[in-house]
Amino acid sequence: MSNSTVKSSSADLAGKQLIVTGGTGALGSAVSQTLLASGATVTVSYIVDEEFAELQKQCAEAVSAGRLHGAKANLTEESAVGDFVKATAADRGGLDGVVNIAGGFVFAPLLETSVDQLDHMWNLNFRTLFLVSRAAYPHLKQRGGGTIVSIGARPGTQGTAGLSAYAASKAAVINFTQTLADEGRADGVRAFSVLPSIIDTPANRAAMPDANFETWVTPASLARVIRFVLEDESQDMSGAILPVYGQA
């Protein structure tokens, strides 16, 4: 995506202060750029320096306007998450929403799945969501309400061969989202989980070179769904589990 994307979209999220975890990867970058294009101020967490530098390059106008910020953080560590969210809310004057994209994937049949792989999936896909959501909630409540978005997956709704650890972690994401929506109703804190099928990323194309890429969901398509649930137009929605499967 280019700078023209950031310049041309409407400002449906103007003034919103948002966090995007894992905001520099294939999906994270698309989401960050879409939210910036809609007028939001976005603070991303990242691990790879080069990815953040590339996002800054793609969003040079937003950087100049002081609407793109980043922090290198290991979101599986409780103290690191607390510091990141607290500093972001303090520096931005509050927090309106969080998009939890940080996560990972492992394919392995049950008998070939190690405990380390199980822990890895749980930590990346659920622990990060739990820690960030818990840290962000008081800031959203103080703001009078806000939105927490997570990335689930179709296997999280129905177990799939070869994905025991991954599917279980994504099932936890979905259940947690519904629980969070129920708990957050009185405080105006909304929660959603977006469920992609296969995302059309360079990594997935390399892993499945013989697949029909045209049936996959693009990062840009997912980003538009995420943008909608963050907008005020969706204010009467919460707890929705949104399948975004494309034709896959």
Catalytic residue numbers? Answer: 166
Residue 31's CB: how many other CB atoms inside 10 A? 30
187 DSSP 8-state letter: G
Tell me which residue of 246, 220, 234 sits closest to 149, measured CA to CA.
234
Residue 183's CB: how many other CB atoms inside 10 A? 12
Is the Cβ–Cβ distance between 178 and 137 less than 8 Å?
A: no
d(CA 30, CA 233): 21
d(CA 196, CA 204): 13
109 DSSP 8-state letter: -
